[in-house]
């Protein structure tokens, strides 16, 4: 990332934060690159299938 791109992302992130502070309940559209710069990401470390496969079976009640 070059300095110009970093400056753009920083300015855009500051604008998003400003809008969030002024309108806390408002949904604010954010460019995906800006969102990634701000720390938003999809956590793909484990999905539902992995969780189900890795779960221990529940003990049966008597």
pLDDT digits 0-9 by tens, 1-58: 899 999 999 999 999 999 999 999 999 999 999 999 999 977 778 888 888 888 877 7
Range of the domain at 34: 3-54
Residue 59 within any structural domain of the chain: no
Residue 60 within any structural domain of the chain: no
How many structural domains comprise the chain? 1
Residue 61 within any structural domain of the chain: no
Residue 10 within any structural domain of the chain: yes
pTM: 0.62
Residue 41 within any structural domain of the chain: yes
Residue 62 within any structural domain of the chain: no
**3-class SS of residue 44:** coil
């Amino acid at each position: 990332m070059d300095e110009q791109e970093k400056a753009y992302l920083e300015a855009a992130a500051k604008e998003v934060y400003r809008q969030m502070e002024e309108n806390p309940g408002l949904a604010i559209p954010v460019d995906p690159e800006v969102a990634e710069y701000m720390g938003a990401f999809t956590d793909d470390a484990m999905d539902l299938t992995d969780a189900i496969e890795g779960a221990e079976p529940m003990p049966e009640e008597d």
